[in-house]
Amino acid sequence: MRSKKAYSMGTHFIPALYQQIKLEIIQDEDRTEVIEDAVQIGLAGRALNHKRAIQAEMQRREDLKNEKRRLEEEAAKAKDRRRERRMCLKEQKRIQELVEVLTTIVVPQSEQKEYTPAMPVYDIRDYKEERPAGIYTFGGFIGELVITLASLQEHLMMKNDGNFEVRNDTVMKFLEDLLLDGYPQGICFINLTADLLSDVEKNEEPAEK
C-alpha cells in the first residue's frame, strides 16, 4: 500500500500540476497569438504606407519626366519658330534687295517697246489654206459656247454620282444666263432637220420635250 504522501501526490498534486501546465501553455499561446496579431496589424499598416510612398515617388518621377519632355518639346518648337522667322527675314531681305535691283537698275535701263505678237491669231471661221501661218481658234460667241459646253460635259463626266439631273429647263436657263446679257439677239440660229429625241427618250420624258 502507498503511503499518505504518495497517495496525496498521485491524486492531488500531480493532476493539479498538469492542469497548471496546460493553463500556462494555453495562456502562452494566447499571448503569442495576440502578439502576432499586433505585429501583423502594425506591419500591414507600415506596408500600406510604404506602398503609398512608393506610388507617390513613382508618380513624382513620372511627373518630372513628363515636365522634362514638355520643356524639351516647347524648346524644340521655339527653336523651329526662331528658325522659320530667320528664314522669313532672310527671304524678306532677299525680296527687298531684288525689288531694289529691279527698280533702280533693271527697269531704268530696260528698253520700252510696243508688244507685237510673234504669230497672229485668227478666227476659225476665216481659216483658208492660202492664208499665212498663224493660230486659228474659236472666238467670240462660238468660242464661248464651245468652251462652256465642253466644261459642262467634263464636269458631268467627272461627277457621275447620279445626283445631278439634266433637264431641258435647267439647260435653257443656264444658256440664257450665260449668253443673253453679253450677245445680241439673233447671233445664232440652229436649224434642226429631225427630232433629236429618240422614241425611247420621248416615252421616258414626255413632259420635258
pLDDT of residue 64: 93
In a domain, 103, yes or no: no
The CA-atom distances, in angstroms, between 10 and each of 3, 19, 20 are: 11, 14, 15
In a domain, 37, yes or no: no
pLDDT of residue 67: 93
Q: State which residues form the domain around 157.
A: 135-204
pLDDT < 50 stretches in the chain: 207-209
- Cell, residue 208: 420635258
pLDDT of residue 5: 67
In a domain, 31, yes or no: no
In a domain, 123, yes or no: no
Number of domains making up the chain: 1
In a domain, 193, yes or no: yes
Q: Distance between CA 121 and CA 141 in Å, rounded?
A: 16
Q: Distance between CA 27 and CA 33 in Å, rounded?
A: 10
Helices (H) and strands (E) in the chain, counts: 6, 2
In a domain, 198, yes or no: yes
pLDDT of residue 73: 93
In a domain, 99, yes or no: no
Q: Distance between CA 207 and CA 188 in Å, rounded?
A: 26
pLDDT of residue 208: 45
In a domain, 152, yes or no: yes
Residues in the chain: 209
pLDDT of residue 7: 64
